[in-house]
Amino acid sequence: MKTVRYIKEIRDILSSYREEGKTIGLVPTMGALHDGHLSLIHQCMANDSITVVSIFINPTQFNDEKDFRMYPRNTEKDLELLKKNECHIVFLPPEKEMYPTKEIRKFDFGSLDKHMEGEFRPGHFNGVAQIVTKLFSIIEPDHAYFGEKDFQQLTIIKAIVRQLNLPVQIISCPIIREPDGLAMSSRNPLLTASERISATKIPEALFKIKELTDKMGINELKEFLWNEIDLDPNLRTEYVEIVEETGLNPVNNWDEPGSKRACIAVKVGSIRLIDNIKIS
């Protein structure tokens, strides 16, 4: 496994692989790796000749300085895990390498960022777009792998690729859950023992609503989900939305066309978790 910190070096390495006809896959991460990340890496390794995992905690996508400072960091453990899983290249750039000057680019996502995460984390998706497009420019991957847990982010990244005609295929990978159903997240280890128990109410409520779509209307189902979660004093729901998957437009009734997904954000103590489930 090669660990590379600088753009010129990784470009030179990847150029030689391309000359050999090898395909490049990219798994962008912010570190604090877990089995969810490993599922993306294994999918990449199955599809591409060379797997590149980037580790960079991107400051421009945090609208809360405290959240940025609290974000878990364990680079040594991450590198050990990647080596054990036979990753080919780790791109671990310092901040000055990725942002040598102040980043000023602005992106237009249409209606995709106007609710859910976009409402509660203003500027977040612009920061995501800044770093993802930088990584695509540096790595020039054939494929890039993203998890469905961040479903709104995944949809926006696909839109960016179409909008900018970027020569990369986005591969979406399913949510990986703990044995008790909680979606794997780098933030899960920040939960206290009691908060960790409470957090399982999030997937329990999501799974429950799948069985209720033929018994309840959209608004009734959203209210049910909200109330189910907020019964626990450790939990405070920020939003519940049922959206059409392609355009992320909120759905008003079940007869509307397109596949539908329930999305939720919940504060568990001071830790914010998101989750979603496909419901039709």
> CB of 89 within 8 A of CB of 10?
yes
CB atoms within 10 A of CB 151: 24
Q: What is the pLDDT of residue 274?
A: 98
Strands 89-91 and 50-55 come out as: parallel
pLDDT digits over 84-102, tens only? 999 999 999 999 999 999 9
Instruction: Tell me the torsion sign for CA atoms 143, 260, 181, 267.
Output: positive
Domain ranges of the chain: 2-173, 188-278
Catalytic annotation present for 37: yes
Structural class in CATH, domain 2-173: alpha beta
* SS3 assignment for the chain: CEEECCHHHHHHHHHHHHHCCCCEEEEEECCCCCHHHHHHHHHHHHHCCEEEEEECCCHHHCCCHHHHHHCCCCHHHHHHHHHHCCCCEEECCCHHHHCCCCCCCCCCCCCCCCCCHHHHCCCHHHHHHHHHHHHHHHHCCCEEEEEHHHHHHHHHHHHHHHHHCCCCEEEEECCCECCCCCECCCCHHHCCHHHHHHHCHHHHHHHHHHCCCCCCCHHHHHHHHHHHHHCCCCEEEEEEEEEECCCCCECCCCCCCCCEEEEEEEEECCEEEEEEEECC
CB atoms within 10 A of CB 280: 15
pLDDT digits over 177-235, tens only? 999 999 999 999 999 999 999 999 999 999 999 889 999 999 999 999 999 999 999 99
Calculate mean pLDDT across residues 138-153.
98
pLDDT digits over 241-260, tens only? 999 999 999 999 999 999 99
**Calpha distance 88→27 (Å, rounded):** 12
Calculate mean pLDDT across residues 55-60.
97
**Calpha distance 85→42 (Å, rounded):** 8
Calculate mean pLDDT across residues 8-23.
98
CATH topology assigned to domain 188-278: Pantoate--beta-alanine Ligase; Chain: A,domain 2 (3.30.1300)
CB atoms within 10 A of CB 77: 13
Owner of token pair 């429950």: 208
Residue 3 pLDDT exceeds 90:
yes
**Percent of the chain clearing pLDDT 70 (strictly above):** 100
> CB of 27 within 8 A of CB of 55?
no
CA-derived radius of gyration, the chain: 19
Picking from 158, 144, 147, the residue whose alpha carbon sits closest to that of residue 112 is 158
Q: What is the mean pLDDT of the chain?
A: 97
Looking at 37, 88, 124, 143, which residue is catalytic?
37
